[in-house]
Each structure stands twice: as structure tokens, then as C-alpha cells.
Amino acid sequence: MNIAVIGASCTPYGEWWDKSLRDLLAQAQLAALDDAGLAAKDIQEIFVANMCAGQLSGQVNLGAMAADILGIHIPSTRIEGACASGALAIRAGIAALESGRAEVVMVSGVEKMTDVDHALATESLMSATDYETEGFVGATFPGLFALVTRAYMHQFGITREQLALVSVKNHKHGALNPRAHFRKEISVTDVLKSSMVADPLTLLDCSPVSDGAACIILSTPAFAKEIGKHGVNIIASTQASDTLALSHRKEFTQFYATQQAAQQAFMIASIKPSDVDLVEVHDAFSMAEIIALEDLGFFERGTAAFATAEGKTVLNGQLTVNSSGGLKAKGHPVGASGIGQIVELVQQLRGQCGVRQVNNAKIGLAHSMGGLGATVAVHILAKEA
């Protein structure tokens, strides 16, 4: 497959008390149009990703909002897939292009999460799990991932200090990213001494609740060349699913949906994991990054934490992981996160990332996960030769 990314934009992530859901979405959409050199009238279809606006902002029907912002009357649809909503919206945009229904589509994602009590935000996020068997009885996302973390630590013998290095590395990258929610480096001691959330996970093992929006504009290769905006293409887009409830899994320390989506993506792109220069993985919790790197095929099972401790995943290491700062430091405005990952890859492949630029970046991979691996999407992007 070959889908051109001709525009990309991401708002800064953070706590935006003075901006509404509409404000953030408009900011990202207009900036993406500007980046692509297009006018609103050039867009033929819109997909907008969001998970929590109905519960947290009292606003649904975001497809209509996205078109209303631009003053156009084209098809515009909201896509929801928990924390993978943005990645699923990208897949919907790709389908519109590949079907011949459109030549140019806009894919946006937005979330406004900090205007409500933290307990309400936590409850809203738990709707990505099996509410009847998990949320209803009091489980939380950190609590469920703490179970996964304990199982992994027991099975593979990693230390709490090695796990903390995931957050340390991502904050180091985030400190270089002007759009990151947290632009401050932290230490292993900071992670270990931060407030306990769900043993063994502390506050600095967990991604923040963030506001933000991201937007990309996709087109056929022919249209991109016609307007002189070719350069970065999506060469694989895959999706897989697993059981909604963690308790229904055969084991906790690997996510089969990630493995399946990754294997299909590498096959479609006709490349190997060793061909990838940088990855943006779904690190909602520090352990999530470790498991993702193994499930994606970059490291053998049980070794990714040791590789992290050895510095193999830092900027311009063996494999640059989460150059943006990841969900942990860049932030996690759920509906925008998967699209924001693509924005980072596009800008890296264009060579636009300044002090956090990955040297000679040619191929990037984005991994987005909804729930505890219940919904997973993988995208591979390549710089045109």
C-alpha cells in the first residue's frame, strides 16, 4: 500500500483550562491544512477520533463539529476505539482513499480531559475494559496494569529500577519536545519515590491525563505529487483484537493483538523489524512499552527492559523509542494520541525535529493500543527515496 501524508499538526499537550474541545480541534485542523498548503474546500471527507467527549465534555457528534469548524458540508464521522481511536480513524481515512471514494481526507483526534474530577476521568477510561467483570467491581486501569507488571517482573526477573528507566528515558525525550505535557527530565529515584498508584506502579510510571488535538491530511500518491507534497507515505496499516477482559487471556505478559498486527504490517510493508529506525509505542504505563517492544518483534521476550537499561532505546540508540516523549511525557489526550504518534513520525522522516531528530530516519512505526491490548493498530511510514 502507499498512502501519502501531506499535512501534519499537533497542538501542545497539557492542561488547557482556557481552551475548549472545539478550540483544540480547530487549532490542529487549521494547522494541518496550512502544513499541506490546502484550503478547507480541498478536503473530501473527515474522520475525527475521540473516546470521552460524551462523558467529560457533554459533547458527541464530533464529526459534525469537525466539518462545522471548517465551514464545509462533506461526510464527517467520529471514530471510537478507546485509546486506539486515533489509529482507527487513520485506518478509516485510508479505506476512503483506497476505495476511490476520495482523493484527500482529513483525520483528526481530540480529547479534553482535565476539566473534570480525576475520578470521573478514571471512570471514563475504564469503559475501555470489560466493565461488567472489571470496572463494576472496582478495578482501575493502573490496577489492571499493575497485575500485568507483577506477572512480568516475576516471570522475567526485572528490577523495579530497570522498569523506572522507561519513564526516565521518555522524560528525557519529552524535555526536548516543545509540544510535550512534561518537559522535565526525571531520575530513577524520582520514579521510585513518587506516589504509589497501584503497586508496583507509581505516579511516574503512568501517563498523565491531558488535553490536546492532532490532525493529519492523507491523499493518494497521485494527488500528493500533483501538488508537490509527496515525501512521506504510510506503507502498512493493520489492526487486531483480543479479549476485552484481562482475566480471559491465557497469559498477561504478552499481547497477542500487537503481535498479530505487527506481523501483518511487516508483511505488507515487505520489511523486517531491523529495518525500522524509530518507533512510537503506546506507553500508557512503563510496562506497556516493554511488552510492546517485544510483541512488535524488536526484542526477544523478557529482554526489552534490559535493552532499555543498556541505553538501546534512547534517541539515536540501537532503536529510537518514543522520540516525542511518548504518552508518558508528551501526554495522552486519548483521541489524539494515535494521530499524534503519526505526526511525530512524519516530522522525523521530514527531518524537522531539531534537537530530538533521529539521524537518517527513513522508516518509522506507530503502535496504538485500546484497552489492555483488546484493540491494537500498527502503522508503518517510510520516507520516499
257-280 residue pLDDT tens: 999 999 999 999 999 999 999 999
Q: For this structure, is 83 an active site residue? A: yes
Q: How far is residue 149's CA from residue 279's CA, in Å, rounded to a whole number? A: 22
Residues 6+ apart with CB under 8 A from 99: none
pLDDT tens by residue, the chain, 385 residues: 999 999 999 999 999 999 999 999 999 999 999 999 999 999 999 999 999 999 999 999 999 999 999 999 999 999 999 999 999 999 999 999 999 999 999 999 999 999 998 888 888 989 999 999 998 899 999 999 999 999 999 999 999 999 999 999 999 999 999 999 999 999 999 999 999 999 999 999 999 999 999 999 999 999 999 999 989 999 999 999 999 999 999 999 999 999 999 999 999 999 999 999 999 999 999 999 999 999 999 999 999 999 999 999 999 999 999 999 999 999 999 999 999 999 999 999 999 999 999 999 999 999 999 999 999 999 999 999 7
* Backbone angles phi and psi of 211, in degrees to 5: -105, 145
Query: DSSP string spanning 24-35?
Result: HHHHHHHHHHHH
CB neighbour class for 355 (10 Å; exposed up to 12, middle 13-18, buried from 19): exposed
Domains and CATH numbers, the chain: 3-117+209-232 (3.40.47.10), 128-208+234-383 (3.40.47.10)
What type of residue sits at position 259? Q
Residues 6+ apart with CB under 8 A from 117: none
The catalytic position among 10, 52, 83, 215 is 83
Return the pLDDT at 339. Answer: 98
Return the pLDDT at 119. Answer: 85
The catalytic position among 171, 173, 332, 379 is 332
Q: For this structure, is 215 an active site residue? A: no
What type of residue sits at position 245? A
